[in-house]
Every structure is written in C-alpha cells, then in structure tokens.
Amino acid sequence: MEVAGGRRAVLPSNEQTGWGATIGKGDIKHITAFAKSEADFLAIGAAPDLWRTARYVKTEDWKAPWIGQKAGKEQRLLGTHYFANEIHINGQTYEVKIFGRETKDGKNYYHQQLSRKKEPGRVHGGGAPD
C-alpha cells in the first residue's frame, strides 16, 4: 500500500459486500492518533487485506449537524459502514474494528482501530448488508 503526495491508495473490494474504499495520509494520521501500542502501527500495513476480508456488521446514517459543522455547510457524509476482522501480531490476536465513511459521491474512506485481544472461540461480524 503506497500513499504519497496527498493521493489516496485504492483498497481492494471487500469480498462480502463488493464495496471499495480508499485510504490517505489523513486517514493514517487519524488511525495513529488513537494508537495504543506497536500493534496498532503494524496493522496499518495490513489495511488492504483487512478491508478485503472484513465481515460486514452494520451501517448507520450520518446525522447532521455534527460537532464543528459550520452553518450552511453542505453535509458530505451519508453514513458509516462498520466491519470487523482480526489480525495476528507478535503471537497475539487482536480484533480490528473497521469503519468506512461513505460520502455523497459514493466514496468510502477507510479507518481502523485495534481493540482488546480476541477471546478464543468468540464469533464476530453480522449478516450481509441490504
């Protein structure tokens, strides 16, 4: 995955939904701002495979106005698509929460967040989207 010169890297389509997503320097900055460990940073390089194999969980419509929205400014975001996956780093298994923020022009902007270690045998994900 290469993100250079303000360009966005196109991620492979998600296998379950067929939806595409992109990731840019701003998205990576957002991901690293919430990083809690080395594993968070290492997982960024796996974003293409994490997105491609992620399990769809749900979609929530974006409700305006959002914090910081200027009066009269057009809302660009339609909603957030939630996905789940897991990753193995340094012998540990982590749950990865993935968010695709969809804009009015049909683009999905990728964000991810590692959370607690996955418990053995725990089932994640949801049904297929509508």
Q: What is the pLDDT of residues 29-80, one digit of tens each?
A: 988 998 888 999 999 999 999 999 999 999 998 765 555 556 555 567 888 9
Which two three-digit tokens encode residue 104? Answer: 């009015």
* Cβ atoms 129, 59 nearer than 8 A: yes
Residues 6+ apart with CB under 8 A from 60: 79, 80, 82
Q: Which of 90, 84, 82, 83 is nearest to 37 (CA)?
A: 90
Higher pLDDT, residue 128 or 114: 114
Distance CA 51, CA 107 (A): 14
- In this prediction, residue 2 carries a pLDDT of 55
Question: pTM value?
Answer: 0.77
